Structure 1
Amino acid sequence: MGKIIIGRREKISFPSFGPDLIWAKIDTGAYTSTLHAEDVRVEMENDKEVLKFVPFKSSDKTYTGKTQKAENFRKKIVKNSFGDDEERFLITIRVMIAGEVFDTEFTLSNRSKMRNSILLGRQTIRGKYLIDVERVNLSKSYRKNQAIR
């Protein structure tokens, strides 16, 4: 099967914790994908460190305010949009893009001043998608009749 054509912004889903169909900006200049998160903290649960966070911006239509957790996480140094090094938590999340479901890595960051809570970088889209920068929401046709696996 060939690569799927997506636009510069696409609606994606997070099957493991919702929400369904939230806008993501496609950014071929970014290596790693980023998810807006608030109240990010590490807590002990059953003698193990667990990363807890509230994903998405409160202004997002699908915002729930529910705290999510990741048991497998690490810290990573990334260059932010200003070119400065920044330490962020890195987690793996299951996503659905254009009807395809797969696990990919996201760093957690405060994107409150950005238009989109989600930025999809090269690592996530490489080998799967081609980007038509003149269009948005091209994955809509691939999502029809697709069940989350």
Structure 2
Amino acid sequence: MTAKITVGWREWLSLPELGIEKVKAKIDTGARTSCIHALNIEEYEVDGEKWVKFITQPLQEDEETQVVCNAKVKKKKHVTSSGGQKELRYFIETTLHSGKYSWPIEITLTSRATMKFRMLLGRTAMENRIVVDPALSHLL
């Protein structure tokens, strides 16, 4: 059995395939899916496949820093938010990178403008890889 990565309740992550060098994520064992702050989501096609273009503002309290991202759509389905509201979201797959670790994750696109963290890392992305120590931060 491979040893699991210990993380704190918040970590700096990178999503290099999306051009996101750093984003502070809340490690959320209560959330099944991961999500990232996304604005101006536009769907388009490439060779008959659905893609999305969106803007993210990866840094908390910094609306000036923006990254334009493009990703292939994995699926589109309803997700129930922490407030209990259903929202139709795009799901994409990308590589998460932090410290010396990298692995593919599924992530949804949604506005997190009113939230403190621009990204949540949910249980599905952590499964069989991560153990969370809620007393600590920024271990990676």
Is the shorter-chain TM-score for this pair beyond 0.5, marking a shared fold? yes
Instruction: Say which is worse superposed, 64-73 or 24-33, in terms of deviation.
Output: 64-73
> What's the secondary structure of 2:125's corresponding residue?
helix
- Give the corresponding residue for 1:33: 34
Cα 1:85/1:50, change in 2 over 3 Å? same
> Matched residue pairs, number?
139
CA drift at 1:71: 2.4
Would you say the 8 A contact 1:22–1:62 is kept in 2? no
- Give the corresponding residue for 1:104: 105
* Distance (Å, rounded) in 2 between the aligned partners of 1:16 and 1:79: 27
TM-score (norm 2): 0.87
Cα 1:2/1:48, change in 2 over 3 Å? closer
Matches within 5 A, 1:72-111: 72-111=73-112
TM-score (norm 1): 0.82
Alignment RMSD, CA only? Answer: 2.2
Would you say the 8 A contact 2:24–2:59 is kept in 1? no
Would you say the 8 A contact 1:12–1:97 is kept in 2? yes
Identity %: 30
CA drift at 1:98: 3.7
Q: Which runs of 4+ in 1 moved over 6 A?
A: none
- Give the corresponding residue for 2:115: 114
* Distance (Å, rounded) in 1 between the aligned partners of 2:37 and 2:59: 10
Unaligned runs of 5+ residues in structure 1 are 140-149
Would you say the 8 A contact 1:35–1:56 is kept in 2? no
Unaligned runs of 5+ residues in structure 2 are none
Q: Write out per-residue CA displacement over residues 35-72 of structure 1, whole angstroms, 9 at most, x where no aligned residue.
A: 10000011244555321111235756697434221223
* Distance (Å, rounded) in 2 between the aligned partners of 1:2 and 1:58: 31
Between structures 1 and 2, the one with greater strand share: 2
* Distance (Å, rounded) in 2 between the aligned partners of 1:58 and 1:132: 23
> What's the secondary structure of 1:88's corresponding residue?
strand
Matches within 5 A, 1:25-64: 25-45=26-46, 48-57=49-58, 59=60, 64=65
